[in-house]
Amino acid sequence: MKGLFLKDLYGLMGLYKKNLILIALVYGLMGIAGNLPFFFYISVWMMGSYILSAITLDQQCGWDRYARTLPVSAGQIVGAKFLVGLAFVAMALAYALAGAGLRALLLGWDEAWTGYFEALTMITGLSLAGTGLTIPASYKWGTDKARNTMLVFYALLFAAIFLVLPEDGALAGVFPGLRESLAGLKEITIAQVRMAAAAVLAAGGLLYALGWAMARQIYARMEF
């Protein structure tokens, strides 16, 4: 299991090391100097999707056929990828927390960062849920189709958040009832926000575990 984990980890780091360093530098500069915590949020979401590239690499080099000759189970092969995905999300989370700490140390803390930790917790849960469901979909339908489907879902989600719900949004008049029904959210307490964030994180963790169980069953039935 350790060897499978290191295979995927070293493969991804070797392929994307320079890319990740550049992203860390640019996102960190934009997040801290530009006072835009969004760049730290998106880093957590983005890092979870990198594990799909490990599946693509395996398919391109015929690794899965070779793996059938090794004394490892389908659960271990798939489980290694879920562990690497979890490691990538953890690295992004540590980066986001360090970035927030550096911002507070250098420039202080203002309104743009209010609720930062609660939002980061929710996004971590969403990242786990999305990655956990995309991995079995990649084994079932292919990584390109699975990735594109997930991107469409997130695009619709962000469109709803930034175009429909705000009063000055481009599509604010399309669903006025929805926006009015959510107006009461302004009255919730910080304790309720934290409970909601914890619930999203827990749900994301459960979906991640469920995704592993689904991917294991799908992979075990695949023919190479």
| Residue 62 predicted with pLDDT over 50 | yes
Instruction: Look at residue 112 in the predicted model and tell me its pLDDT.
Output: 62
pTM: 0.81
- C-alpha pair distances (Å), 18 with each of 13, 25, 94, 95: 9, 11, 19, 16
Are 41 and 116 contacting, i.e. CB atoms less than 8 angstroms apart?
no
| Residue 197 predicted with pLDDT over 60 | yes
Which of 182, 198, 38 has its CA nearest to residue 116?
A: 38
Q: Quick one: DSSP state of residue 115? A: T
Instruction: Look at residue 64 in the predicted model and tell me its pLDDT.
Output: 80
- Tell me the two tokens of residue 93: 């989370």
| Domain that residue 71 falls in | 2-221
| Residue 140 predicted with pLDDT over 90 | no
The dihedral of CA 79, 81, 83, 85: what is its sign?
negative
Mean pLDDT, range 73-86, rounded to an integer: 90
| Residue 22 predicted with pLDDT over 70 | yes
Which of 7, 160, 174 has its CA nearest to residue 79?
A: 7
Are 29 and 109 contacting, i.e. CB atoms less than 8 angstroms apart?
no
- Distance in angstroms (rounded) separating the CA atoms of residues 31 and 96: 9
- Distance in angstroms (rounded) separating the CA atoms of residues 83 and 119: 23
How many folded domains does the chain comprise? Answer: 1
